[in-house]
Amino acid sequence: MPALLDFRIRFPDVMTEISLDDVKVDIINGGYDVVLRLGELDDSTLRARRIGPHTFITCASPEYLAHRGTPQTPSDLHNHCCVFYRFPTTGRPEVWAFKNSLQLTPIKPSVVLNDGEALASAALGGLGIIQAPSYLVSEDIAAGRLQAVLADYTDERGSVSLVWPPMSARAPKVRAFIDFMAERVSQKLY
């Protein structure tokens, strides 16, 4: 949202309508000019611009870790309160991704939430360990409010991309929005 303010200052005559639904929309039939997509993209006739990796951080509050201990491997998570995200499109809890791990037993969530910001708030409140997109928790980690764990194991999940119908980018205002947002969002991903 801070990037949107900067876009409005730079392009005051461009009317923007933002939909913040956490569902996969039909871009063409829904009448969208541009959509921000996370994860792997489907093959389609749409145009896309990858703007960065969709990286995740496994983390918890320092207070939680002081009380419960710090997991050293993904299998240690079976002894912790793990707070998961539930996808609104499928109704299923997210499966945490780990690389270089021989973990065979899925982690059982202690709490399941359907909002990314609530996920971060749960970790900040000491409810348990979360695995969240880096852009949701990186400022809290930098400020010491959250502490990353299992950094050597946490894996990427595709990319962050802007996607649009082929005809949309011909409009100068849409092209301006794509270029501006690609630059601004990519800064938050690294």
> Are 120 and 140 within one domain?
yes
SS3 category, 82? strand
Token pair listed for 80: 């912790």
Using CA atoms, how far residue 54 sits from 31, 58, 159, in Å, is: 26, 13, 4
- The pLDDT, as a whole number, for residue 17 is 86
pLDDT tens digits for range 54-65: 888 999 999 999
pLDDT tens digits for range 62-96: 999 999 999 999 989 999 999 999 887 788 888 88
> Are 60 and 144 within one domain?
yes
Domain assignment of residue 137, given as a range: 56-149
> Are 49 and 64 within one domain?
no
- The pLDDT, as a whole number, for residue 125 is 96
- The pLDDT, as a whole number, for residue 137 is 93
**Residue 144, domain member (yes or no):** yes
**Residue 25, domain member (yes or no):** no
Distance CA 6, CA 144 (A): 28
Per-residue pLDDT of the chain (190 residues; tens, 9 = 90+): 778 888 999 999 988 888 877 777 888 888 889 998 887 787 678 899 998 888 889 999 999 999 999 999 998 999 999 999 988 778 888 888 888 665 556 688 889 998 888 999 999 999 999 999 888 899 999 999 999 999 988 777 778 889 999 888 788 999 999 999 888 887 777 6
**Residue 123, domain member (yes or no):** yes
> Are 102 and 139 within one domain?
yes
CATH number at residue 179: 3.40.190.10
Among the listed residues 128, 152, 157, 134, the one whose alpha carbon sits nearest the alpha carbon of residue 61: 128
Alpha helix ranges (H) inside 11-147 = 62-68, 116-124, 134-142
- Give the chain's domain count: 2
* Bridge pairing between strands 82-85 and 111-113: parallel
SS3 category, 143? coil
- What value does the mean pLDDT of the chain take? 87
Could you tell me if residue 184 is left (phi over 0), alpha (psi between -120 and 50 degrees) or otherwise beta? alpha
